[in-house]
Chain A
Amino acid sequence: MEKVLITGIAGGQGRLLASRLMANFTVCGVDWAPWHGAPKDMSVYSLDLRKRKFEDVIRTERPDAIVHLGMIRHFKGDPKRRHDVNVRGTKQMLDHSVEYGVKKVVVVSSGYVYGAFPENPFYLDEEQPLSASRSYPEIRDLVEVDSLAGAFLWKYPHIRTAVLRPVNVLGANVSAMIANYLRRERVPTVLGFDPMMQFLHEADMTEAIAQALEQGLQGVFNVVGPGQVPLHTAIRETGGRATPILEPLFRPAIRMLFGAGVVPWPPGALDFLKFPVTLSGKRFAEATGFQPLFGLAETFASLREGRS
């Protein structure tokens, strides 16, 4: 049986993926946080990806494949630490993969790397420039991670490397920024703007990662769900109430509150509430035959169930 190592295994997506892969792979994993109640026969190491111990784990476990989920995707902590964990952590993972003969790598990037701009075409394909940091410098680490993985893909063609750029993932287990935003009772929006947004159920995301791994996919792929609705429809369907705010008030308020550490949303995130970042999932669907099982209504319901 092939052995797969999952970074960020203790997070919501990591746990789902570990359970999905257990039948066909020997699964082990690493995470900053411990996973209490992990399956007994699964080795889970609590560590920092930037430290020596990560290499030790790879040397002893000798995984055939690595799925890289271990990134900080929120803004609750020190931004410098976030940047370093994400970029240097990814670099270490890629270096160790070469040194210890890993045959497959799946890096879970983000659809946000394209950036939210008024001139975006409605369907962004994988060839579009990664411009997110122009208006949203706080996520330049994600752009750097994606670029590192892309360069790795070309430099080591003998390693099957897949870079996945999923749309907004929702579910009871994942706690992505968009999910936390939609889970609020009153959801702030920008008055006069209602961009189309794409969503993907966490179980479908798990399946997409598993298929990329099992099929040894090589390349960069957008991963798209069952479709798109305007932001305000998504807010209504996930059980929240939209509160439109005038942009000239909203932007300085966010800047102030973020600076003071009151809200975990950088001002750059506001553009994602104004302009669409809708992706074309054609390449991934054609390469894998992937089709999301969950419709939009079920995807929204999964978040409502997560509310309590």
Chain B
Amino acid sequence: MAEKKGWLDAISDLAGGAMPSAVRDLQTEIADRVRKIPTHLNEFGFDAFGMHPETASSQMLTAALAYRYYFRVETFGIEKIPSGGVLLISNHAGQLPFDGMMLAVSMLLEGEPPRLVRGMGEYFIPQLPFMSWAAERGGNLVGTRENCIALLEAGECVMVFPEGVRGMNKTFDRRYKLQRFGQGFLRLALQAGTPIVPIGIVGSEEQNPGLANLESLGKLLGMPAFPITATFPLLGPLGMLPLPVKYRIHFGEPLHFEGKSTDEDEVVQRKVDRVRAAIDDLLAEGRAQREGVFR
């Protein structure tokens, strides 16, 4: 059926024509990779969780540009990712979650087969106009226990940052010092019977050095944190932009755990500590290998 094109389409066509060929090539590459994601789609092109590959592709473009040309991401050991349901666990830093975006792009562009990383979002996202469906079409869901288990059981790849906000808004003096890990992710892995891949992301922790975190002011403003960095709030929202650090993503060996999701805290904590130690090792390895923060 031929659809009448509106002025918005006309503008996007024009913009498409004016786009540098590198961008268009990347767009094609993403679309090709997204087509190879091992996820079943229904007759209207949606997966069982509301993900829509074409929409996900277009959302990926900006992040993929940053991946190639800004953070110049390098990955190590991505072939260790097992097929089927898997939990990706990594360090979390840098004021804004560029680490999550870069990890997702790496899995799409360099994973074999390409995987679409599923993010577990905050509860308020479904209440935001446009964000609500954009997040879902991109493969993300609200971070409930049920959603995480359902995704893992469906053979999807779920990304969790056990440090949470504690990690994302840590101050510069604590860079690469892993903050307290919650236990939730490990109980989920036990319940779904899926392996955990520990990941160390090097670079993100220097992208926007935090000087302080005014948590109580953040709470007052309804935000999870209120970081003070060299550029924020001095330069306003622009001050949240990251430095062009070089990202190195180190993938560890998959860890398989035996046990029940209802086990005692101490029993689960020992397993959590193993994951944490594995990430610590990956971070140390990555920092030893690199020649500088920007190279």
From A118, A226, A276, contact of B127 by CB (8 A): A118
Determine if B150 and A196 form an interchain contact, defined as CB atoms under 8 angstroms apart: no
Residue of A120, A121, A192 touching B132 (CB-CB under 8 A): A192
Stretch at the interface among A91-99, A228-236, A251-259: A228-236
Neighbouring B residues of A226 by C-beta, 8 Å: 42
B142 contacts A118, C-beta separation under 8 Å: yes
Please give 9 more A-B residue pairs, beta carbons under 8 A apart, in addition to A118-B124, A121-B147: A121-B146, A122-B146, A190-B129, A192-B132, A227-B43, A229-B44, A296-B44, A297-B43, A297-B44
CB distance from A25 to the nearest CB of B (A): 35
Instruction: Take A119-B144, A193-B132, A196-B136 as given contacts and tell me if A229 and B49 are in contact as well, using a CB distance cutoff of 8 Å.
Output: no
Question: A275 near B: Cβ within 8 Å?
Answer: yes
Counting chain B CB atoms within 10 Å of each CB, which of A119, A122, A230 scores highest? Answer: A122
Partner of B142, one of A119, A190, A194, A230: A119
A230 to B136: give the CA distance in the assembly, Å. Answer: 10
CB<8 Å pairs between A and B, sample of 22 = A118-B123, A118-B125, A118-B127, A118-B132, A119-B123, A120-B142, A121-B147, A122-B49, A122-B50, A122-B141, A122-B146, A122-B150, A192-B128, A192-B132, A193-B133, A227-B42, A228-B48, A230-B50, A233-B44, A295-B43, A297-B43, A297-B44
Instruction: Report the nearest A residue to B148, measured CB to CB.
Output: A121
Size band of the interface chain A makes with B: 20 to 34
- A191 interfacial contact with B, CB 8 Å: yes
**Nearest chain A CB to B270 CB, angstrom units:** 29
**Contact of B130 with A by CB under 8 A:** yes
Q: Is B113 an interface residue (CB 8 A)?
A: no
Task: Write the chain B residue with the least CB distance to A231.
Answer: B133
- Count A/B pairs, Cβ under 8 Å: 71
Interface residues in B, total, Cβ within 8 A: 25
Q: Let me know if B50 and A121 touch, CB within 8 A.
A: no
A121 and B150 form a contact (CB under 8 A): yes
- Please report the C-alpha to C-alpha distance between residue A122 and residue B43 in the assembled complex, in whole angstroms: 19
Residue numbers in A under 8 Å from B125 (CB-CB) = 118
Supposing A192-B130, A193-B132 touch, asked if A228 and B142 sit within 8 A by C-beta, the answer is no
Complex interface bits, A221-262 against B, C-beta within 8 A gives 1, otherwise 0: 000001111100100010000000001000000000000000
Q: Which 8 A-B pairs have the closest CB atoms?
A: A192-B129, A121-B146, A118-B126, A194-B133, A227-B42, A196-B50, A192-B130, A121-B144
Contact B129 A247 (CB under 8 A): yes
